[in-house]
Structure 1
């Protein structure tokens, strides 16, 4: 199956017309490229760096199957290219195959972001038959004892390796997502080799970003400068050595970046998020920003209207919220003040 996406939807002019029709005085931001669908906050793992909100949406508040199908149809109508089924653990939803099938039927590229520990080969095969385009599996390390301790799930690492093998047997593209922190950075060379051995298309070396539970556990997770420097060196060397074999994405912690993260350069302008209970968010951590009231797909407003006209999205996007020194900074429309 191809992992190559078109740069614009074939009916882009029609999609823009749908958005333009919903527009009043708000700026037109064009077509969002991708949407992160957090279809549940339920998860069997207990990762200390989880970026989900500390106050999770309970399962009784989750959107129903029909509500998620309506969301998927609306996203396709406005020209969204990709949907990423996430959580929590998306495979905890019994209707996942049905949702993937509907997404495929309306023309959306589908990616499953999973811990993999709840998957069987039969269910993964059903997802592939339903039109699933890509699988991303999170790994907590390469050594079973450490990986299972970090995830809080016995025999989880062994299961992840098994599901990764099934993924390639079913000819689905595979991304290894390795969340890196002080406890496992020493395993990075082996994680890179594991990704090659698993025949992964891509490795995401994702240093922990400190929101949600990760912020509460920052003292135990934050790497030293020396650790991060070594991590950067290893990634650069591996990128050169494995060019054409394994694509490697690299995300450093906000605290060590040279400039504030241009978070809203994508989130809220090209991407957005829908929570398990249906809140439409400019990024997955947006609810931590005080003073913003987010619309729900259960409201009377369409997703197109929320994207274009909602007060929260437009206040999130601009520079009007900034205080000094950001307000007068020459980079204010380059990095937009970083993650808020």
Structure 2
């Protein structure tokens, strides 16, 4: 554990983590046990110390979005000067990743359904290599015909974002009158037999309705709801004062999640999303197998950490991975960055600010 964490007293690491059975843990204790467990499995050769190629990838297929969420982690739908990759470039990359043997691809954006029929050309290629998908959508333009086409693929889960149990709550967060469309999308996904997951960001305005939101997710047929305080990145950093919960309110969110997780045990998973200060440290300790491709071809180490390691339009993805990607979480700059974050509040001032400042380029480890 000391390889990655300094001796600072991490106040944030005393926050709760809640497992699928509703059991609460000290985050710091969890990290210690996770680290010990990973080291034992690596020593027993159950896991390698690094993978020769990425096992999973997230595609941010477009900057475009038909929502303007006040908490959006990557400021989708705003003014982006970067040129997006063409369909042919995405298809070429998909073939390459399929050849390398990735197992899973997260389809996201922006809003991926804005690619319309072109989206299926990308997914068809990956599907031919037996890649499973996680699909992240706001559901705004999903209809029965489009969902039918999507249903031919294999999914780990299909995620619809619903940020309120009532229209006025969801619409406030999403910046658009879209609650009915989100509910309809969830129903369509469930009826198509796809593994529905609801994501729900807790902000000041919808905080009092969290239990109601969890209950509604069960009624919609969700297998899981992932919820917790909003992520301190992108537009949320800009609008933070309007959105943020007090320390007591955050603690109560985790208590509610623990209670509802036990209530719905065996019927629906109620999962608390980990705050960045925790999530980044978990990724440090895990065997890295995942990268993220931005709409302009930039390769990031994940959707939160503000570091890029190359661009697929300039260098082959396998070369980027073996040059730096496979061990990037051990990079001194990444370690320094994470050790400078002691609580979510630090993300306001630690540079680069996530999806506010330009990502920092890491050349070699």
Partner Cα separation in structure 2 for residue 116 and residue 132 of structure 1: 16
Partner Cα separation in structure 1 for residue 83 and residue 286 of structure 2: 25
TM-score by length of 1: 0.77
Determine if the alignment matches structure 1 residue 175 to structure 2 residue 188: no
| Residues 1-340 of structure 1: pairs in structure 2 closer than 5 A | 28-53=50-75, 58=80, 61-94=83-116, 95-129=118-152, 134-154=157-177, 156-254=178-276, 261-262=280-281, 264-265=283-284, 269-286=288-305, 288-289=306-307, 294-299=309-314, 301-310=315-324, 317-319=330-332, 326=339
> How far off its partner does 1:197 sit?
0.3
Partner Cα separation in structure 1 for residue 186 and residue 77 of structure 2: 31
> How far off its partner does 1:129 sit?
2.9
Could you tell me which runs of 5 or more consecutive residues in structure 1 were left unpaired when the two chains were aligned: 1-26, 328-336
Give the stretch that moved more between structures: 92-101 or 115-124.
Answer: 92-101
Pairwise CA RMSD of aligned residues? 3.2
On the 8 A contact 1:173/1:201 being kept in 2, the answer is yes
Q: Describe the SS at the equivalent of 1:129.
A: coil
> How far off its partner does 1:57 sit?
7.7
On the 8 A contact 1:111/1:134 being kept in 2, the answer is yes
Q: Describe the SS at the equivalent of 1:295.
A: strand
> How far off its partner does 1:265 sit?
2.3
Paired residue for 2:29?
none
1:29-55 deviations in Å (ceiling 9; x for gaps): 444332110000100111111111589
> How far off its partner does 1:269 sit?
1.6
Q: 1:129 to 1:147 in 2, by over 3 A?
A: same
> How far off its partner does 1:60 sit?
7.8
Partner Cα separation in structure 2 for residue 308 and residue 56 of structure 1: 33
Q: 1:84 to 1:194 in 2, by over 3 A?
A: same
1:212-254 deviations in Å (ceiling 9; x for gaps): 1111111111111121121111111111121111112212444
> How far off its partner does 1:193 sit?
0.5
TM-score by length of 2: 0.72
> How far off its partner does 1:319 sit?
3.4
On the 8 A contact 2:50/2:287 being kept in 1, the answer is no
> How far off its partner does 1:28 sit?
4.5
Q: 1:202 to 1:323 in 2, by over 3 A?
A: closer
Q: Describe the SS at the equivalent of 2:151.
A: helix
Partner Cα separation in structure 2 for residue 174 and residue 47 of structure 1: 21
Aligned residues: 296
Q: 1:97 to 1:315 in 2, by over 3 A?
A: closer
